[in-house]
């Protein structure tokens, strides 16, 4: 009887962990698919302060806040990009945010 209860408890615990894993993976995939999170999908901006606004408004998939570590430029044949490298203050994961500068006045 005790082995049956143990097996039931183990099945429930594994189901909970699997559910948490699936939810975390879905949240991460949704985050990665957002505009600005990949060089092929940069966020178009017209002012530099919009980069910091986007960083403050965007949350890490864990729910933490992004803190900018450094920024730089990246040019492609079709766009001028500004890249913000950020780190999550909660889980310490790192990511890059990409901004298209072609709408900005020179």
Q: Which residues contact 100 (CB under 8 A, 6 or more apart)?
A: 42, 43, 44, 45, 79, 80, 81
Distance CA 89, CA 98 (A): 20
Q: Where are the domains of the chain?
A: 2-100
In tens, the pLDDT along 61-105 reads 888 999 999 988 887 777 788 999 999 999 998 999 999 988 776
Q: How far is CA 78 from the centre of its chain?
A: 24
Query: Which has the closest alpha carbon to 98: 37, 52, 49?
Result: 37
Q: What is the pLDDT of residue 6?
A: 82
In tens, the pLDDT along 34-56 reads 777 788 888 898 888 898 999 89
Q: Is the pLDDT of residue 14 over 90?
A: no
Q: Is the pLDDT of residue 106 over 60?
A: no
What's the sign of the alpha-carbon dihedral 31, 36, 41, 43?
Answer: positive
β-pairing, 43-44 vs 66-75, is: unpaired
Q: What is the pLDDT of residue 84?
A: 93
The stretch 11-29 carries a mean pLDDT of 78
Query: Which has the closest alpha carbon to 96: 49, 51, 44?
Result: 51
Q: What is the pLDDT of residue 27?
A: 66
């Amino acid at each position: 009887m005790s082995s049956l209860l143990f097996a039931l408890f183990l099945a429930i615990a594994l189901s909970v962990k699997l559910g948490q894993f699936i939810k975390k993976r879905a949240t991460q995939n949704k985050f990665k698919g957002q505009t600005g999170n990949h060089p092929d999908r940069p966020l178009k901006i017209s002012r530099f302060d919009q980069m910091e606004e986007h960083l403050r408004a965007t949350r890490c998939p864990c729910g933490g806040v992004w803190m900018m570590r450094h920024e730089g430029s990246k040019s492609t044949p079709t766009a001028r990009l500004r890249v913000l490298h950020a780190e999550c203050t909660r889980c310490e994961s790192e990511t890059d945010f990409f901004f298209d500068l072609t709408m900005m006045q020179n």
